[in-house]
Structures are given as structure tokens and as C-alpha cells.
Amino acid sequence: MTSLTPDIGSVRTDLPAGTSRGSTVINDAVVAKIAGLAVREVTGVHALGGGAARALGAIRDAIGSTDRSQGVSVKVNGPHVAVDLSIVAEYPLPLQQVADDARTAIIDAIETLVGLEVTEVNVTINDVHLPDEADETDEGSQP
């Protein structure tokens, strides 16, 4: 049976007693990145993070250093993980549906790819993006 025990900022997966093939350590940042990648594919999620995080993200994007875990925070406790997510939703999509779809995508990705049980995904919708609004990243590049 595989057991998961917390390590500082990571999850350690040990093999059953009697095997000598080693262990696997999954850093918390990897769990957050997987969640961030999963939620970016959800219809209705325009951006991740609050205003300051998105502004910093635009700078990172400009220099080619995109943060895939922007707007995602994870807390791993043994075999369990809790996720806090901050998003900008597309208008006029139903906000509860966008949040539910984001929650489902994150749970599926973490449980499938990492093997941890997701106990909760808390979604904060910071803003809605109107179809006629320019992206904050586009505003800085306008002539």
C-alpha cells in the first residue's frame, strides 16, 4: 500500500515495505502548477489571480517567464490537499457554473495526475471580463 507523508513543501510517496526502488517526492509547487494548468482550460475562466497578480503575470509573460500557478494556492496535508483559487470570469456566463467547472477540473487533475485526495477547492471570483474590454496585458502594448 502506498503511503503519503508530508515533507517540507512536498509530498513523499514511499513504496511498500520490502521493495528497494526508492521514493517519489512531489513538491507543492508542482501540485499548484497542475491545478493552474487545469483551470486555464475551463470555459469562462478569463484569467487567474487578483489585479496585482495579473499585473505581475503580464510582466512575467513579457519576459517569457509565465507563472502557471498564478492565482492558485495549495495546502498539502498528508494524502489530502486543499486548494484556494482566484479567477476572473467571462461575462455573461453564470458565475456559479464557472466556479463549479473550475473546481471539477482541479479535482480531476490533482487526483488523476498526483494521486492526492482533494478535500476542498475554494474559488474566489475577483472580477468579470466584459467582451469589449481590452485585456490588461493588451493595454500595455497598445501604441
Which pLDDT belongs to residue 73?
95
The number of folded domains in the chain is: 1
- Tens digits of residue pLDDT in 92-115: 999 999 999 999 999 999 999 999
Residue type present at position 142:
Q
Distance CA 3, CA 132 (A): 50
Convert the pLDDT of each residue in 51-73 to its tens digit.
Answer: 655 555 555 455 665 678 889 99
* Strands 3-7 vs 80-90: parallel, antiparallel or unpaired: unpaired
Question: Exposed, middle or buried, 27 (CB in 10 Å: 0-12/13-18/19+)?
Answer: middle
CATH number for the domain including 7? 3.30.70.1350
Burial of 52 (0-12, 13-18, 19+ CB in 10 A): exposed
In the three-class reduction of DSSP (H, G, I as helix; E, B as strand; rest coil), residue 85 is classed as: strand
pTM recorded for the entire structure:
0.75
Range of the domain at 71: 3-139
| pLDDT tens digits, 10-24 | 776 665 665 668 888
| 1 secondary structure, DSSP code | -
Burial state string for 12-21 with b = 16 or more CB within 10 A and e = fewer than 16: ebeeeeeeee
